[in-house]
Chain A
Amino acid sequence: MDDDGKPTLKETPLYERETGNRFVRSGLLSFLSIVVIWELLARASGWSVHVFPDPWAVILSFIELLRDGTLVRHTVASLYRVTVGFYLAVLLGVPLGICLGRNLTARSFLNPVIHFLRPISPLAWIPLAMLWFGIGDPPAIFLIFLASFFPMVVGTTIAVQNINPTFFQVAANFRFSRRETLTRLILPAIMPEVITALRMTVTIAWLVVVAAEMIAVQSGLGYLILDARNALRMDFVMNGMIVIGLIGLMLDGIMKRLGQVESSQWGRHER
Chain B
Amino acid sequence: MLGDQNELNVVQSKFSSNELVVAVHTNALLLEQEGWVDNRRILALVKHEFSFALFVILSVNIPPVSFSDLTIERIIPLDECFLCDTEPIPQDYQNIIFNIYYKTLILPFKVEISTESSNFASEVITAKEVKPVEYKDCIFAWLDKYKDLDKIVMDLNEKLGDFPLTRQKNGQGQGISGNRESFLKYQLTLKEPEFTHQQEFTIFIGTWNVNGQPPTALRKWLSCDEEPPDIYAVGFQELDLRKEAFLWNETTREEEWQKAVMEAVHPNAKYRCVALVRLVGIQLVVLINSKHYQHVKNVAIDTVGTGILGKMGNKGGVSVRFELHNTSLCFVNSHLAAHVEEYERRNQDYHDINLRTNFRRHPLAIRDHDQVYWLGDLNYRITDLTTDQVKYYLSKSNLEPVLLADQLNQQRILCRVLQDYQEGDITFIPTYKYDLNSDIFDTSEKARAPAWTDRILWRGKGIYQSAYRSHMEMRISDHKPVSALFKSQISVIDQAKYRKVHEEVLKRMDKLENEFLPQVTIDSTEVTFELVKFREAQYKDIIIANTGQVLAEFEFIRKPNDTSYCKEWLRITPYIGCIKPGEKCDIRFEVNLEQPLEELYDILVLHLSGGKDMFITVSGKCQRSCFTTSISTLCRAPIPLLNLNPDQLQHAETQQSPVLYSVPRELWLLVDHLYRYGLKTKELFELNALNEDIVRIRDWLDWGSLDPISVPIHAVAEALLLFLSYTKDPIIPYHLHDACIAASSNYQSCKQIIVQKLPDLERNVFLYLCMFLQELLKHSNENGSDVKTLATLFGDILLRDPVRNSRPQANRGKASFLYHFLVNDQSCLLIVPNNK
Q: Do A and B come from the same complex?
A: no
Query: Which residues in B have some Cβ–Cβ distance to A below 8 Å?
Result: none
